A and B are shown apart, each in its own frame.
Chain A
Amino acid sequence: MDRPTSAVDPTAGNRNDKSRAERRLGWWLAGPAFVVMLLVTAYPIVQAVFDSLFDYRLTDPENSSFVGLGNYVVILTDSVWWTSFGVTVFITVVTVAVELVLGFGLALVMLNALRGLRPVLRTVILIPYAVITVVSAFAWQFAFSVDSGFVNSWFSWVPGVSATTDWFGTQGLSLFVICLAEIWKTTPFISLLLLAGLAQVPEVLQEAAKVDGATAWQRLRRVTLPNMKAAIMVAVLFRTLDAFRVFDSVFVMTAGANSTETVSFLAYRQTIERVEIGLGSAVSVLLFLSVVLISALFIKGFKVDLSQARGE
C-alpha cells in the first residue's frame, strides 16, 4: 500500500521520530489489553507451574509437600501419558491436514462464488463453527450411537457397517468419529482464515500469469500459494494449537474409554476428578510447553515474521 506521508520528506531523522511515535501509540493502544492478558493468563500459568512442584490434594491441603520435579517424573515415566500424547498428535495431524485441504476448497468456492450468492454461502459454510463444541459432540454421538443413531441404518450398504456396529466400542472407530466431528466443526474456521489470505493475493499478479500462459494449477502453485503463506501459517497454527487441546468431543463421546484419552483430558482427570492439584498442574504445564513448542516450530518452519507483515 502507498504511504503518501513518507513521500513528502523521506529524511532519515524524520523517519526515526515517526517510527518512535508509532511505537508509542502502539503501546498505548495495545497496553490495556496486554495488562489484562497478563492478569488473566500469566497469573494462572505461574500458579500452575508453582503448584506442579507440590504433592497437593485439594481435600487434604495440610499434608501438601514440596516434591520438586517429582510429578513430572511420574508423568513422563507413565505409559498413560505417552498413549494420550500419541492420540492427541494423531487427532491433531489428521484433523488439521484434512481441514486444510477442505478449508482451502471452501475458501476458493466462497471467493469465486457469484456476488449475490456470496453472503448466503458464507453463512452456510460458517454454521458448524457457530455450534458449541459440546453440542456438536452430542449431535455426532447421537448420530453414531448404536441404539438411537441413524448412521448404522443409513450407511448399512458400506462394507463393515451393520446395525450392530458399535462406533464407540474400539479405539479406531471412536477416533474416526471424534476426528470427523472435529473436522466438521472447525473446517469453517480454517476456510475463513484462508479466504482472507486468498483475497489478499493481488489480482494483477494473477492476470500477469494468465497472460504469460500459466495454467490454473501453475497459477495456484506459483502465484496464489506463495502470496498467502502468512495466512496459511496463521490458519494452520491456530488450528493446530486448538486441535492439540481437544477435550469436549472426547469427553462427551467416549469419556476416555478405549484409549481415546487426550492430553487435556488427562489434565482434567488428575485435577478435577482426582483433585490432585499438583499432578494435574504438572500435566497442564506439559501441555502448555507442547503448545509453546508447536508455535515455535511453526513460526520457524514457515519463515514468516508476522510482526513485519504490515502491508508496506
Chain B
Amino acid sequence: MTVVVAVMAALVSACSSGPSGPPVLTWYINPDDGGQTEIAARCTAASNGRYTIATSTLPRQASEQRQQLVRRLAANDSSIDIMSIDPPYVPEFAQAGFLAPMPPAVEAAAREDRFPSSIEASTWQGRLVAVPFWANTQLLWYRKSAVAGMGLDMSRPVTWDQIIQAAARARTQIAAQGVRGESLTVWVNALVESGGGSIITNVGEEDPALVQLGLNAPPGIEAARILRTFGDAGVAPPGFPTADEDTNAESFQSGSAAFMVNYPFIWGKATSAVEEGTLPQSVPDDYGWTIYPQVTPDRPSAPPLGGINLGVGAFSEHPDLAYEATTCISSPANSSYYFVSNGNPSSRPSVFDDPEVVAEFPMAPVIRDSLALAKPRPQTPYYAEVSGGIQRTFHPPGAVTPGATNEAATALITAVLRKEALL
C-alpha cells in the first residue's frame, strides 16, 4: 500500500512539475518549412518570460488537420491553446463552441492592416472568431516563350475561354487541379464567384436544413460549362482527373503545360530546384504570372483564398495569453519573415511593400492584387459536406454536364445536409 501511495505521489509531483517556469502554450501547426516553429521561438523570446510556445505538428492535408482538431476539441482537449486553421473550417469550429471568445483589444489588432477577404474568412455570424495569419491565393502562371506566339495580351486580365482557345490552337495544356479533393472545390468556387454567384446564398445559416445553394443559378451553370470545355477542347493534361497542385507544378515546370492556375509555392519550388542544380535558370526566367482568369470579360475574377487563421482553443487554460501570442505570431515582422522564408504570403497588405519580400517574390504585387479580389469558400459549419458533395458530383471535371451536374450537386448536398443521404 505504501508503495502505491509513494508511486501516486511521485506521479502527481511529476505532473505538476515546473512550478517556476512560465505557462507553456501549445500551438497546433500545419506542416511547413519550419517557419511556424521559428515564429514560436521568436514570440516566446518576445514575451519576456510570460509564456513559452511549443508547437505540435498536424497532418499534411487540411481535411485531416481539421479531423484531428475536431475530434480533440469534441473531447474538450485542454492542450490545444493555439491552432492553425484552414479558413473554410472556421465556421464549424466557431459554431461548435471550439473557439474561445476574442478579447476586444485582440480583435482591434486583428482587424488592422488586413485584406477584407482574410477578415471575411475569419468571421462567423458577424463576429471575428479567428486571427488572420497568412493568406494564400492562386495566380495564372504561364510560360512566356509558349504564350508569345498565341496573340494573347497577358498584361491585361484574360478569360478562361481565351486561354482555353489559345492553348487548344497551340496544342498545349492548361494545368488545373482536377483531382477529387479539396482543390476541386477551390476551383469550382472560384469559377462560381468569378461569375458573380455563390455556392451558398445565405451565408451564416446554422440550420443545415435551411442552407440555400446557388449552384443552379447562371454563374453555377457557367462554371460547369468552363469545366466541360476543359475536357472537350483537349487542353487538360494527362492525368487531369488525378492532378493536384504538386503534380501540376511538375507539369508546368517540365513545360508540358503552357498555363497553370496554382499557388505561389511553385515559384519557391522552381528557384530552389535552380539552387540545387536540378533545373536551369532559364526555366523560372520563362515563368510569367498574372491575375486569376476571369469568367466574363467585363467582371474581375474572384481568385481562390487560402492561408491559415489562428484560433484559440475554448478549453485552453490560458486563453488570454494564447490570444496575446496570436497577436505576436501575426505581427508585421513575423509575417514578413514567414513570407520570405517559407513563401507564404501575408494577410497584411503592408507586408507586400517590404523590400525583402519584393526582392524574393517578384510577383508580390500581383499576389497583393489577387488577395484584394479573392473570395473565401462557402462559409458554413457544414463545409465538409458541401465540399464533399461538390467533389462527388463535379468529378471528373472534364465530363460534367452544365445544368444536369448542377442539379445533381444541389440535390446531393441538400439531401446530405438533411442527413438523408450518404456522402
A binds B: yes
Query: Do A274 and B384 touch across chains, with their CB atoms under 8 A apart?
Result: yes
Determine whether the beta carbon of B181 is less than 8 Å from that of A255. yes
Q: Which of B74, B180, B242, B247 contacts A58 (CB 8 A)?
A: B74
Chain B, interface residues (CB within 8 Å), range: 20 to 34
Quick one: which of A75, A148, A273 has the most chain B CB within 10 A? A273
The answer to whether A2 has its CB under 8 Å from any CB of chain B is no
Q: A residues within 8 A CB of B92? A: 59
- Let me know if B422 and A81 touch, CB within 8 A: yes
Instruction: Knowing A147-B239, A276-B419 are in contact, say whether A169-B396 is a contact too (CB < 8 A).
Output: yes
Q: Which of A24-32, A38-46, A195-203, A264-272 contacts B (4 or more CB under 8 A)?
A: A264-272
Are A164 and B238 in contact, CB atoms less than 8 angstroms apart? yes
* A258 lies within 8 A of chain B by Cβ: yes
Beyond A59-B70, A59-B95, A274-B384, is A168–B63 a contact (Cβ under 8 Å)? no
* Alpha-carbon separation in the docked complex, A270 to B388 (Å): 11
A165 nearest CB neighbor, chain B only? B238
Please give the distance in Å from B238's CB to the nearest CB on chain A. 4
Q: How far is the CA of A78 from the CA of B95 in the complex (A)?
A: 29
- Taking the closest CB of chain B, its distance from the CB of A166, in whole angstroms, is 5
Cα A106 to Cα B89 in complex, Å, equals 51
Give the distance to chain B from A6, nearest Cβ to Cβ, in Å.
49
The 8 Å CB contact of B242, one of A81, A164, A168, A266, is A168
Nearest CB in chain A to that of B416: its residue:
A274
A279 at the interface (CB under 8 A from B): yes
**Residues of chain B within 8 A of A145, CB atoms compared:** 239, 242
Binary A-proximity of B231-264 (CB < 8 A = 1, otherwise 0) = 0000000111110000100110000000000000
Contact A257 B384 (CB under 8 A): no
Chain B residues near A269 (CB-CB < 8 A): 388, 422-423
- A273 close to B242 (CB less than 8 A): no
B332 located at the interface, meaning its Cβ lies under 8 Å from any Cβ of chain A in the complex: no
B67 beta carbon closer than 8 Å to chain A: yes
> CB distance A274 to B251 under 8 Å?
no
Most chain-B Cβ atoms within 10 A of its Cβ — which of A147, A168, A169, A273? A147
Cross-chain pairs A/B with CB under 8 angstroms, 26 sampled = A58-B74, A59-B96, A61-B74, A75-B422, A78-B421, A80-B421, A80-B422, A145-B239, A147-B239, A147-B250, A164-B238, A166-B239, A166-B242, A168-B241, A169-B242, A254-B242, A257-B395, A257-B396, A258-B396, A266-B422, A269-B388, A270-B422, A273-B63, A274-B384, A274-B385, A274-B388
Known contacts A147-B251, A164-B239, A258-B241; 15 further A-B pairs (Cβ under 8 A): A59-B74, A146-B238, A147-B239, A147-B247, A166-B241, A168-B242, A255-B181, A258-B396, A273-B384, A274-B388, A274-B416, A274-B423, A275-B70, A275-B384, A276-B419
